[in-house]
A = this chain, B = another copy of it.
Amino acid sequence: MSSSEVYTASTTAPVNIAVIKYWGKRDPKLNLPTNSSLSVTLAQSDLRTHTTASCSPSYPPQDSLLLNGSEQDVSGPRTQACFRELRALRKQLEDANPELPKLSSLPLKIVSENNFPTAAGLASSAAGFAALVRAIANLYELPSSPTDLSRIARQGSGSACRSLFGGYVGWEQGSAADGSDSVAFQVAPASHWPQMRALILVVSAAKKGVSSTTGMQTTVATSSLFPARANETVPRRMKEMISAIENRDFEAFGKLTMMDSNSFHATCLDTYPPIFYLNDVSRAAIKVVEAINKKAGRIVAAYTFDAGPNAVVYYLEEREKEVAGLFKAVLGEKDGWQGERGERVQRDAEGLEHIREEAGVALELLKEGVSRVILTGVGEGPIKTDQHLI
């Protein structure tokens, strides 16, 4: 191998938004969760991390990671665990086939870029670690399955394991102490139910209100309601959600999604000291979704909130006007309604008049508090690409 040779591989990886939430670790070191979870993988045309992994004998000896142009610390145990596990798998290949170049002993240089604004406050660690693990696996030409890689990505960021698959993805909590059975699995590919859409309402920084104390482990340690969620509520809902997805039953999917978001935030509030992610703008989004469903006479929109005030509203393509179109009428001009997809959404001015009384002050709160929207939908898992960032 010539000392100037550079090996390179690239991938993109998606964001996922859970409909059964991950909150609480039974093993913080290995990122083993207290309950299973389930998410929808979102389309990479709208939200993705693009990562190039490379290695070369000509590189400086330290591994490095550049994210959106800024150098990241790779010495933390989570990133190190991913590097170590992937190198070990490469080493097995090299030991079995002496003709392979000894990439496992070369320094890694990783370059990563997100196609969405950091200010959007979207959890980017899931896409980030999924892309990192997938890109290095490509570089090392590992035969590992997405399931195998999910076990590694999980150690970087728990929810990253679900971004190794497209469509509807579960994360089995597992029971083994070493985490070997705590992996992601595909419930259904995107093609099974491709009509699933997601409207993300990004709450402006100015409206974020009282900052939140974070820490899921504080919930595990102090919430007296948490065990009921982890041990009873979520196991039941996982089965119901898998069945809803298999049957393409949006009513069941939507109700479970909303209830599970509320259950998760309830255990945050039951934490001591309490953790708040929902603010008055979030509550306004809930109110408008409730008004939309009331008007429809059934569940056609479902909200969910991660660890922040941004709302994600799931709906089916056929209901676009009465869900996204109604939010468009409420919000008026905002970043995100431009472009082909955004312009195609028809403002539902009539629907707005219909819910105006019911929604009340929520309409003003939303208009003031939402800074931009992102229109997306269910999408594919990581995609290999020849567009290298190095």
Whether A323 sits at the interface, judged by CB under 8 Å, is: no
Interface 1/0 per residue, A227-267 and B, CB below 8 Å:
11100110000000000000000000001001100110111
- For A110, the chain B residues whose CB sits under 8 A away are none
CB-defined contacts of A211 to chain B, threshold 8 Å = 360-361
- Which residue of chain B is the closest to A259 with respect to CB atoms? B272
Given A272-B258, A279-B280, does the pair A267, B225 have CB atoms closer than 8 Å? yes
- A262 near B258 with CB under 8 A, answer no
In the complex, are the beta carbons of B263 and A225 less than 8 A apart? yes
The minimal Cβ–Cβ distance linking A260 to chain B, given in whole angstroms, is: 10
Neighbouring B residues of A223 by C-beta, 8 Å: 266
A285: nearest chain-B partner, CB-CB: B210
Do A210 and B266 touch across chains, with their CB atoms under 8 A apart? no
Residues on the B chain within 8 Å of A283, using CB: 209-210, 276, 279
Q: Which residues of B contact A279 (CB under 8 A)?
A: 280, 283
Q: Give the complex CA separation of A36 and B266 in angstroms.
A: 21
A349 at the interface (CB under 8 A from B): no
Asked if A72 is at the interface (CB within 8 A of a chain B CB), the reply is no
Chain A interfacial residues counted at CB < 8 A:
38
A274 CB within 8 Å of chain B? yes
Q: Is the CB of A361 within 8 A of B210?
A: yes
| A321 in contact (CB, < 8 A) | no
Q: Is A77 an interface residue (CB 8 A)?
A: no
Give this chain's copy count. 2
> Once the chains are docked, how many angstroms separate the CA of A360 from the CA of B279?
16
> Is the Cβ of A290 less than 8 Å from the Cβ of B273?
yes
Interface string of A266-310 (1 = CB under 8 A from B): 110111111010011001101100100000000000000000000
A49 and B228 alpha carbons, distance in the complex (Å): 41
B284 touching A262, Cβ below 8 Å: no
A362, CB-defined interface residue at 8 Å = yes
In the complex, A365 has a CB within 8 A of chain B? yes
**Residue A224 at the B interface, CB < 8 A?**
yes
Cβ-defined contact, B210 with A360, below 8 A: yes
A228: chain B residues within 8 A (beta carbon) = 224-225, 227-228
* Given A210-B283, A233-B224: A262 and B267 interface contact (C-beta under 8 Å): no
Q: Select which of B209, B229, B365 is within 8 A of A361 by beta carbon.
A: B209
Q: Mark A173-217, 1 if CB is under 8 A from B, else 0.
A: 000000000000000000000000000000000000111000000
Nearest CB of B to A279, in Å: 6
User: A229 CA to B255 CA in the complex, in Å?
Assistant: 23
State whether A280 touches B209 (Cβ < 8 A).
yes
| A367 vs chain B, min Cβ distance (A) | 14
- Residues of chain B within 8 A of A233, CB atoms compared: 224-225
Chain B residues within 8 Å of A224, by CB:
228-229, 232-233, 259, 263
Report B-chain residues with C-beta under 8 Å of the C-beta of A286.
210, 274, 276
Task: Identify the interface centre among A227, A232, A280: most chain B CB within 10 Å of its CB.
Answer: A280
Cα–Cα, bound, A209→B368 (Å): 13
Report the Cα distance A262→B222, complex, angstroms.
12
**A-B pairs with lowest CB-CB distance, top 4:** A266-B270, A266-B266, A228-B228, A224-B233
A-B contact pairs, 21 of them (CB 8 A): A209-B280, A209-B283, A209-B361, A209-B365, A210-B284, A210-B287, A210-B360, A210-B365, A211-B361, A223-B266, A224-B228, A224-B263, A225-B228, A225-B233, A225-B263, A259-B270, A262-B271, A262-B272, A263-B270, A265-B269, A266-B270
15 more A-B contacts (CB under 8 A) besides A259-B272, A266-B269, A269-B269? Answer: A209-B280, A210-B362, A211-B361, A224-B229, A224-B263, A225-B229, A225-B270, A227-B228, A258-B273, A262-B270, A262-B272, A263-B270, A265-B269, A266-B266, A279-B283
